Amino acid sequence: MYLCRLLPLDVHCAALCNQRHNLELKYGHALHAILRCARNAGTFTISCIGEHAARTVRDYANGGITCPPRTVVPTQDGNGTLMCMPTVAEDLIATKILTIFGKNPALHLPTIQGMITCADAHDGRFLFNLDGPTVTMRRTSAMSMLGIRTFASDAVKRVLIIGTGTQALAHVEALSALYPGIEVVIRGRTPERAEHFCKSPFGNSRMSVSA
């Protein structure tokens, strides 16, 4: 395991496909937290996303958001998968479409590609599109931060992250923004992967690596 000591990090995400706004993002029923941020047309902090996440979870629990099971369809050649995830709230309608092609890295293409389309729930006007993988990354870390805030009995000072991929990066950024000076312990598949991850630049973060 390797220890990363982080300083505050300002987290920003430019993910609108139509390039109209810079947004902090979050997704299924939880997708509406990001969409509500997006509709305000601003730049948001991780803490702001967390507030929208809390509202979205409450709305879903109270029946205010409809989110049926996702549709999964394989391609004819079996090399890829199409996933479709619609969701409807009282203010917004959204559909997330992803394609997953496991052989894409050999072609220098992303394994997962996708887009989220958002429309007004009152008149059906299409409002904007968001990059699917970016939303997934921000949504997942935002929900984790909501869980920590809800269930942690004391101030969070040390956290273990298992993995060294995109989600690990998103969680380190979110933790750094919400808990300045927090210690993040990284466990990867190999010590080399964990060490490489901890040497990655995290904005103005200062990192020390130890076994």
Q: What would the DSSP string read from start to end of 77-113?
A: TSSEEEEEEEEEESSEEEEEEEEEETTGGGGT--SEE
Beta bridge partners of 185: 3, 160
In a domain, 173, yes or no: yes
Q: Which CATH number characterizes residue 122's domain?
A: 3.30.1780.10
Predicted pLDDT at 23: 30
Q: Do 43 and 98 sit in the same domain of this protein?
A: yes
The predicted model gives 8-32 an average pLDDT of 37
- In the chain, the amino acid numbered 71 is T
Same domain, 93 and 151: no
pTM of whole model > 0.75? no
Q: Is the per-residue pLDDT at 188 higher than 50? A: yes
Quote the CA–CA distance of 94 and 164 in Å, as a whole number.
30
- Looking at per-residue pLDDT, the higher value among 25 and 137 belongs to 137
Say what the pLDDT of residue 113 is: 94
pLDDT more than 90, % of the chain:
24
* pLDDT(10) > 50: no
Let me know whether 71 and 123 are in one domain: yes
Q: Residue 95: give the domain boundaries.
A: 31-137
The dihedral formed by the CA atoms of 208, 11, 27 and 95, expressed in degrees to the nearest 10: -130
- Does a structural domain hold residue 132? yes
Same domain for 49 and 89, yes or no, is yes
Q: Among 115, 137, 159, identify where a domain stops.
A: 137
- Pick from 137, 152, 172: which residue ends a domain? 137
pLDDT at 140: 84
pLDDT digits 0-9 by tens, 36-49 = 655 553 445 676 77
The yes-or-no verdict on residue 30 having pLDDT over 60 is no
Please state, rounded to an integer, the average pLDDT across all residues of the chain: 76
Q: Is the pLDDT of residue 24 over 70?
A: no
pLDDT of 99-139, one tens digit each?
A: 999 999 999 999 999 999 989 999 999 988 888 888 888 88
* 100 plus 125 within the same structural domain: yes
